[in-house]
Structure 1
Amino acid sequence: MPISRAEIATESGDKLINRLCKHWAHKLEVEQSEGEGRVTFDAGSCLMRAEPGKLHVAVEALDEEALDRLEGVVASHLERMAGKESLEIVWEN
């Protein structure tokens, strides 16, 4: 299974994880604990972990096509949930 990771500079990691998990919980399987969140999609999963000053995000998918799609979905939702804060999201795989 291909995996992409991003380390995003932000002081709002916990808040972003909380917002995303609440947003997706009504239609996807979501697990959330202190400073961490996991979302399971049909084609893969997203694991998020907050640290002071950064948010670690890992996306795992069934294939490269699904990975590209999930990267876009997760990035667009993170940017939307960040509001006025500008996030620089660079995926590495």
Structure 2
Amino acid sequence: MAKVEALWETPKASQYLQQLCKHFAHKIEVSFTPEEGRIDFPFGPVNLRASDAGLWIEVNAEDAEGLERGKDVVDRHLERFAFRDEFKHMPWAA
């Protein structure tokens, strides 16, 4: 299984973690607390962590196509939720 992760420095990490998890909980299996979350997408699980440092997200998938899909899903939804913070995309690193 392949993975990619990123840390976005934001004081609203817990807010965005919970917003992402609540949004997807209407469609797929999700578990979360204010500090940690997991979203079980068809391409693979996405793990989230909120701390004083920011919002950490890890996308897991079977292949590169799944990783790209996961990054795209996360980025598009965070861009919508965090538009006031001028969010564009996570600083993904392999």
TM-score, with normalisation over the residues of structure 1?
Answer: 0.93
Alignment deviations for residues 30-66 of structure 1 (CA, whole Å, 9 cap, x no partner): 0002311110011111111011141111000111111
Structure with the greater relative contact order (CA < 8 A, sep ≥ 6): 1 or 2? 1
Alignment deviations for residues 9-44 of structure 1 (CA, whole Å, 9 cap, x no partner): 101100001111110001110000231111001111
Structure 1: runs of 5+ lacking an equivalent:
none
Determine the C-alpha separation between the residues in 1 that align with 2:81 and 2:38: 16
State the secondary structure of the residue aligned to 1:27.
coil
State the secondary structure of the residue aligned to 1:90.
coil
What root-mean-square deviation, in Å, do the aligned CA atoms of Structure 1 and Structure 2 show?
A: 1.1
Determine the C-alpha separation between the residues in 2 that align with 1:32 and 1:8: 18
Structure 2: runs of 5+ lacking an equivalent:
none
Whether 1:36 and 2:36 are equivalent positions in the alignment is yes
Q: Which moved more, 1:75-84 or 1:36-45?
A: 75-84
1:68 counterpart letter in structure 2: E
Determine the C-alpha separation between the residues in 2 that align with 1:63 and 1:50: 26
Identity %: 37
Determine the C-alpha separation between the residues in 2 that align with 1:20 and 1:75: 11
TM-score, with normalisation over the residues of structure 2?
Answer: 0.92
Which runs of at least 4 in structure 1 moved beyond 4 Å after TM superposition?
none
Query: Which residues of 2 match residues 1-93 of structure 1 at below 5 A?
Result: 1-87=1-87, 89-93=90-94
Displacement of 1:83 = 2.9
